[in-house]
Amino acid sequence: MHEDPVETCFISASSSSSIKVVSVFFNLLLNALLPGISKLFALVLWSVDITADWTAQSWILKSSANLIPMLRVWNFQYAQHSPTPPLMRALDFQRLYTNINTNDMRSSIYSIIQSIFALPEHSTKHHVGIRVWQTKPAVWLTQNQMPANDQSRSGTGHGGAFMIFDLPTIQLWLSFLLDNMYVTFGGQLQRQIRGTPMGTNCASNLANFYLSHYELNFLLNVTNMHKTSAIDGALPSPDLHCVTLQVTQAFLLTKRYIDDLFSMNNPYMLHLLYTDQHCYHPGLHGIYPRSLLVSVADVGTSVDYMDMTILPVVGHSQRVTTVLYDKREHGRLASLFIVKYPHISSKISDSAKYGIITSQFHRYRRIIICFGTTSPSGWQLSLTPCAIRDMTVPAC
């Protein structure tokens, strides 16, 4: 409903899907492997002597609160060297889940998982498998700890049900998952042959791993060109060594929440968005395949991104602060009556109903920087008559 133009979007419910169990356990596996993506990014940046702790992360955001540390880095490390407020961009992948080529997704996700298994912390310890639990942290396994037969790869224990994965098993599960995306619509059983249904348990993790594969390869290509160009005569331009380092540093201020991309003070972003684009040198190509349609949702010194507005600090315009943003209160949605909170007499528990207010305060605390002000507008929204009204009207 917030898209412009307005379009319908099919969301597959996963509760009654025949691959529910596969999707649940594969999601647990991807959650366990997710920190490995940040370690891969860190290794790439360390290779060009970018070693600050805040850079040892992938572009993936788990929530908007994870963007705040990067904004603070800008305020305290970059702003003093910037003559103007930072130019920011919020970009959006259009229909990401259905624009992804399934075969490309299969090979890309498996490739980055192979790289995680090959990390020094696993290869030096001869890890060949990982046990994922429903309620306990995952455990890496050596060859001697792997079960002797397939029947022993799953079971139950103090951490609930568990499943043991090695690379061949991961490849098998991934292919089965992507090849058996069946949905019922209009009384017909149909198989999705491109992308993945939005409603399946591991959909967001599949998207994150897929996009991270391209983001990591982009940085790997740029840093390799930087290191190679340091060798006299290796490449035709003597300036390429400096340019590749500048590109690498520009993309340090980039984050992504699934299909919402955020870029800060990066003059190269729009020139290196797609793999068929190149900048300065034919070998310096962009990030994503052209099949992923990326549009600019907002651009300027003040942008709306997820549930926050990022804007210059009054009197310190090179620095940024955040206030709450709710797309339901802007544009065409502003004229609609949208119930945000449950009715006070609804059947859910009182703690859940009133807990919404306190949980909103905690959310504001996490995502609002409040630099140079003690009363940001975002905090005031919890106390407006609109919020009280939403607590007391019948739910639709």
At position 57, the amino acid (one-letter code) is: Q
More confidently predicted of 324 and 257:
257
What was the pLDDT predicted at 227? 85
The separation between the first and the last C-alpha atoms of the chain, rounded to the nearest angstrom, is 17
The amino acid at residue 339 is V
Is-cis flag, bond preceding 168, omega within 30?
no
pLDDT above 50: residue 1? no
The mean pLDDT of 41-69, rounded to a whole number, is 90
List, as own/partner pairs, every contact residues 174-182 make where C-beta atoms lie below 8 angstroms and the sequence separation is at least 24, other chains included. Answer: 174/26, 174/106, 174/109, 174/110, 175/106, 176/19, 176/22, 177/19, 177/22, 177/23, 177/26, 177/202, 178/102, 178/105, 178/106, 180/18, 180/19, 181/12, 181/19, 182/17, 182/18, 182/19
The average pLDDT across 207-232 equals 89
Amino acid 154: pLDDT: 84
- The sheet that has 254-257: what strands, in order across it? 254-257, 260-264, 88-93, 294-300
Half-sphere exposure of 212 (CA within 13 A, CB side): 30
What pLDDT was estimated at residue 376? 40
Beta bridge partners of 130: 140, 165
Query: Is residue 48 a contact partner of residue 224, using CB atoms and an 8 Å limit?
Result: no
Report the candidate in 175, 178, 174, 202 with the shortest Cα–Cα distance to residue 28. 202
Both tokens of residue 206? 């599949």
pLDDT band per the 50, 70, 90 thresholds, residue 263: very high
**Is the pLDDT reported for residue 107 higher than 50?**
yes
Q: How far apart are CA 228 and CA 346, in angstroms?
A: 65
The pLDDT, as a whole number, for residue 283 is: 87
Lowest-confidence pick of 21-30, 94-103, 168-177, 334-343: 334-343
Do residues 130 and 165 touch, judged by C-beta distance below 8 A? yes
In the chain, where the domains are located:
20-304, 326-392
Q: Which of 5-14, 66-75, 378-387 has the highest mean pLDDT?
A: 66-75
Residue 14 CB neighbours (<10 A): 18
Give whole-number Cα distances, 287 to 190, 218, 277, 313, 393, in Å: 32, 5, 9, 32, 47
311 three-class SS: strand
Does position 383 have pLDDT exceeding 90, yes or no?
Answer: no
Judged against a pLDDT cut of 80, whether residue 298 lies above it is answered with: yes
For 308, residues 6+ apart whose C-beta sits below 8 A from its C-beta are: 64, 67, 322, 323, 324, 325, 367, 368, 378
Q: What is the mean pLDDT of residues 28-42?
A: 96
Task: Look at residues 67, 63, 174 and name the one whose alpha carbon lies nearest to residue 112.
Answer: 174
**232 confidence band (pLDDT: 50, 70, 90):** low
CA atoms of 46 and 52, how far apart (whole Å)? 9
pTM value?
Answer: 0.85
Q: Is it the case that residue 349 has pLDDT exceeding 90?
A: no
Tell me the H-state helices in the chain. 20-46, 68-73, 96-99, 102-117, 120-123, 167-179, 203-228, 240-250, 350-367, 377-380, 385-392
Average predicted confidence (pLDDT) for the chain: 83
| pLDDT grade for 87, boundaries at 50, 70 and 90 | very high
Please tell me the distance from the alpha carbon of residue 111 to that of residue 287, in angstroms, as a whole number: 16
Q: pLDDT class for 67, splitting at 50, 70, 90?
A: very high
State how far the Cα of 236 lies from the Cα of 55, in Å rounded to an integer.
Answer: 30
Percent of the chain with pLDDT over 90: 46
Beta bridge partners of 303: 310
Give the pLDDT band of residue 324 (cuts 50, 70, 90).
confident
pLDDT at 37: 96
